[in-house]
Chains A and B, each alone.
Chain A
Amino acid sequence: MSRRRTAVYWTGFCVLLGLLIIAPLVLPEFWRRFLTEILIWGLLAMSSDILIGYTGMVSFGHSAFFGLGIYGAAAALLSVAPPSLLLALLFGLVAAAAAAAFVAYFSTRLRDIYFAITTLIFSQIFYVIIFTWTEVTGGENGLTFSRPPLAIPGLFSVRFTPNTLHWFVLGVVVLSYLLLRRITQSPFGMVLQSIRENEARTRAIGYPVERYKMVAVMLSGLFAGLAGVLYALQNQFAAPDFVFFLVSGEVVIFNVIGGIGTLVGPIVGAAFFLLLREGLSRFFTEYYLIPVGAIFVAMVIFMPQGLLGFARRWLNE
């Protein structure tokens, strides 16, 4: 990438980062919280972009990874006292990874449409298990738990304030973005994109396409689980609703609206959707999904590259 474009990109990045850091200091609590939620959903959407945008696999299974991230964190925070941030992260990621491994195994055997439907059904399997296994998961009512302190054992421990939580989430999301960006630009990422472009040819060249796909699913699932852990930290409760496949559908909407294959696009898509929902729900109350759904369909037809799609090449260099 040319010097000038690199400079523009990083300048933009720093400006945006700066704004996001200052935000909690100037925004009222409601909007501060809203912003943190956008970041969390953005991370979830970004994880989904690895599959949809870079590997060309549409997945409706992210609600499972996300939900298991939440429940995993909940399990850690409820079963181990004193509640530990690191354990919550660990449990959440492991739970999401297990689900991802399960899905990954099947993913490689199915193409496109079958994969999409199967991931959807898998999300529902997890949903039903969580919904009905009331003794462990709290069933319909979910679980509530308290927020752990921001701590590194042995070094320091300090309770989260709304602002520090926001910065923590921001830090995690930014690091994830940078990490994922690095990965997508690496040789591994290039192979994924080649799979998206032409799977048969990639296989013919000699790449073990199945293995790459599995790793992509695991990677995607891990970051989705991470988003789940962050969600648990922010909201301090877990419910089966998050595992329901409609959540996956919303994530896919974020991806398409924001622009697949850009990593940042999905975050923008999440912001757009959530803001739209916030705005429209003033007028349409709970029926906001009617205009939002219609806008989504219109975008699929007329603007399939999404809001940031035009910048896709640029963002990937």
Chain B
Amino acid sequence: MAAVLEILSTIPYDQILIQTVNGIVTGMILALVASGLTLIFGIMDVVNFAHGELFMLGAYVGVIVLAATGSFWLALVGATLVVALLGAALQIVTLRPLLGRDPLTTILATFGISLVLQNYALWQFGPVARKIGEPFTGQFTLFYLDYPWYRIVIALLSAAIIGALWLFLKFGTWGIWIRATTQDRVMAQAMGIPVPRVLTGVFAIGAGMAAASGVLFGPLVGVNHVMGVDWVLKAFIVVVVGGMGNLAGSIAAAIFISLLEAYASLWVSPAQAVIVSFVVLILTLLFRPTGLFVPTPK
């Protein structure tokens, strides 16, 4: 009994709690990125390799708007709109021509776009990381540590954006159009739904969400041209683990994986903590390939 108590007392509860909060915060941002990705895949059957770059460009636009206006919130809105427009333009120019073809061509095309965007950012902004200032400082005490309010706000905002997306899809004309197009593209057209425009719109929404995550996450890390690469990988893992095209699944998976990684980083370095997500992926593929949180199809 004493031995058990002794073991229990060595567990760093306070650190675990802090990591729990960290994990949820990161998880919510990851969920925001991943939901854009899974939306695009579920509705358009497009694997958007450039998603991480849209995230990165969102952060950069945020930097610019912040520098110009001094307002974080304007930066958030501005980045979302600008990148959403960029996404729409990209979709019209490069993905629409690929509509009837083998879905693998979209992977290649978006991969090419990601290379262009990444290097464009490098060219325009240089290799030195920029910073987005937090919109407000201030902390509250979590145990004996000061935990920044800002992080909680990010998590709440991400949740709010995802919630808004869900409401948009559930009600409203565009929501019906999007859901109809996902279920039966041919009949959606026969009902007068302008399917090509719907697809562009969906891509723009996904891009906007990625950009918003970029701005929200900006203050936590430096903004540079490769910040998208790590995120896109993680987002893909989340999407596969959550079940491709399954919005609720990717949110659950994002939080789950982020929590595990946060706990893992108590013992190993962050670079090694990512192995957690890889392990989760492998286990999912082995035992529940349709998605960890998806009921196994009979």
Contact = CB atoms under 8 A, between A and B. Distances in A.
Nearest to B281: A121
B220 interface: no
B168 interface: no
Contact of A289 (B98, B116, B285): B116
Contacts of A128: 271-272, 274-275, 278
Nearest to A299: B112
A121 B123 CA distance: 27
7 contacts: A110-B285, A112-B104, A117-B236, A121-B233, A121-B281, A289-B116, A294-B116
A127 to B, nearest CB: 10
A152 interface: no
Contacts of B94: 297, 301
Contact of B112 (A109, A300, A304): A300
Interface string B244-283: 1000000000000000000000000101101100100110
B111 A301 contact: no
Interface residues of A, number: 35
A116 B105 CA distance: 12
A314 interface: no
A293 interface: yes
B36 to A, nearest CB: 16
B285 A132 contact: no
A124 interface: yes
Interface of A: 58, 106, 109-110, 112-114, 116-118, 120-121, 124-125, 128-129, 131-132, 245, 249, 252-253, 256, 286-287, 289-290, 292-294, 296-297, 300-301, 304
A21 B280 CA distance: 50
B182 interface: no
B184 to A, nearest CB: 21
A253, A293, A294 pick with most chain B CB within 10 angstroms:
A293
A54 to B, nearest CB: 14
Contacts of B43: none
A289 B115 contact: yes
Given A113-B104, A116-B107, A118-B240, A293 B278 contact: no
Interface in B97-132: 97-98, 101, 103-105, 107-109, 111-113, 115-116, 118-120, 122-123
Contacts of A120: 233, 236
B289 interface: yes
B296 to A, nearest CB: 15
A112 to B, nearest CB: 6
Contacts of A301: 94, 97-98, 109
A296 to B, nearest CB: 4
B178 interface: no
